[in-house]
Amino acid sequence: MKKFQRSLSSLALFFLLLLPAIGAKPVSDDFINDTVRQHLAADAIVKGGDIDVQVKDGVVTLKGAVHEQKQKDKAERIAKKVGGVKSVVNDLKIAKP
C-alpha cells in the first residue's frame, strides 16, 4: 500500500512539474522586441545609446552604437533576461562622443 502511495505521489509530482511546460505559450517576436526596448530604455547605464533591436524566432540582434563597453555588455545582459529570448547577437559598436 505504501509503495502504491509513493508511486502515486511521484506521478502526481511529475505531472505538476510538467504542466507549466505543456501550457506555456510561445512568446512572439513582437513582444520580445517591445520588452527588450522597454528594459533598455529604463536602464540607467544603457539609456542614451542608439540601439536598434531586431528579433527573429526568439533571437535578438542588437545593432547601433553606445559610448562605452559597459553599455554594450549591459544591453546584452538585459536582452538575455527577457522571457522567450533564445540567444542574443550583440553587434553594438562603441562610438566615443
Q: What is the CATH number of the domain that holds 75?
A: 3.30.1340.30
CA angle 63, 66, 69 (to 5 degrees): 105
Q: Is 1 within the bounds of a domain? A: no
Q: Which helix or strand (DSSP H or E) is residue 6 part of? A: helix 2-23
pLDDT digits (tens, 9 = 90+) for 15-47: 555 555 555 678 999 999 999 999 999 999 998
Give me the pLDDT at residue 49, please.
Answer: 73
Cβ atoms of residues 65 and 95 within 8 Å: yes
All cell numbers assigned to 93: 559598436
pTM exceeds 0.75, yes or no: no
Would 12 be classed as within a structural domain? no
Domain with 68, as residue range(s), is: 26-94
Chain centre to alpha carbon of residue 56: 13
Residue 40 lies in a domain: yes
Nearest-Å Rg of the Cα atoms of the chain is 20
Give the model confidence (pLDDT) of 48-66 as tens digits: 678 999 999 999 999 999 9
